Amino acid sequence: MNITVKDLAFSYRNFRLHVENLSLEAAKMTAIVGPNGAGKTTLLKCISAILPVARGSLFVDGRDMASMREEERARLLAYVPQEHNTAFNYSIRDFVLMGRAAYLSLFSTPSSADVRIAEEALEYVGLRHYASEHYDQLSSGERRLVLIARAFAQKSDILVLDEPTTFLDPKHETEILDLAKKLAEEKKKTVLVTLHNLDLAVKYSDVMVFMKKGAVVACGKPDDILDEALLENVYEIKMSIIRYNGRKFIVK
């Protein structure tokens, strides 16, 4: 599904996000990058309806997100936070089953079909053998995969991941981003991800969005927009771009 942002604004006490125009294509992986405090997470939370936005500022396939009911948005978009702390030590299967909540009526219980969808989601992320284990027994990288499985079970067309590789080792970074790319390519999900690692953003994304001080500075395919002048403008330090084996790498 296509996402269109028009004159979207949100303010905290000492920060203001204002995105005039932004269009994100369906079935693509978009990496949102920029320095700390640029507004990356705030933008994701506005798109995910975690933070309120005005009518007429955010559209999905032409539909105004602000006019939708909560359950409609939940079926449309799944948000994966950096980390999730739960008061109850759920089994992995039960935790992923929570992704089916948008399809259940009040006081109803998951059906056998819901359980099957949860197990298929765990299979897709490679954790089906952990279904009976408990959430607090997993490593940080495995927990991120479980969070993605829960979002996948939600059957939403848009998947939003907020800094999914933070504090992960290279192996788990690769697993998470390989999976995100796979969801865009195989399942035709519209995937939005915030990243600090620019080399990973260049490698995995179809589109990059550069942000600074609450605004979008540049948006486009990495090969089209990435240059040293843009990097210096956004990050306020000099960086060099080198090519190796057909890929761009950034040297600080």
pLDDT value at residue 82:
79
Domain that holds residue 224: 3-251
Q: Which whole number is the average pLDDT over 60-75?
A: 91
Query: How many domains in the chain?
Result: 1
pLDDT tens, position by position, 107-145 = 788 899 999 999 999 999 999 999 999 988 888 899 999
Please state which of the ranges 73-77, 84-88, 143-147, 172-176 shows the lowest mean pLDDT.
84-88
Domain with 239 in it: what CATH number? 3.40.50.300
pLDDT value at residue 106:
73
Can you give the three-state secondary structure of the chain, one letter per residue?
A: CCEEEEEEEEECCCCEEEEEEEEECCCCEEEEECCCCCCHHHHHHHHCCCCCCCCCCEEECCEEHHHCCHHHHHHHEEEECCCCCCCCCCEHHHHHHHHHHHHCCCCCCCCHHHHHHHHHHHHHCCCHHHCCCEHHHCCHHHHHHHHHHHHHHCCCCEEEECCCCCCCCHHHHHHHHHHHHHHHHHCCCEEEEECCCHHHHHHHCCEEEEEECCEEEEEECHHHHCCHHHHHHHHCCCCEEEEECCEEEEEC
pTM to 2 decimal places: 0.92
pLDDT value at residue 156:
93
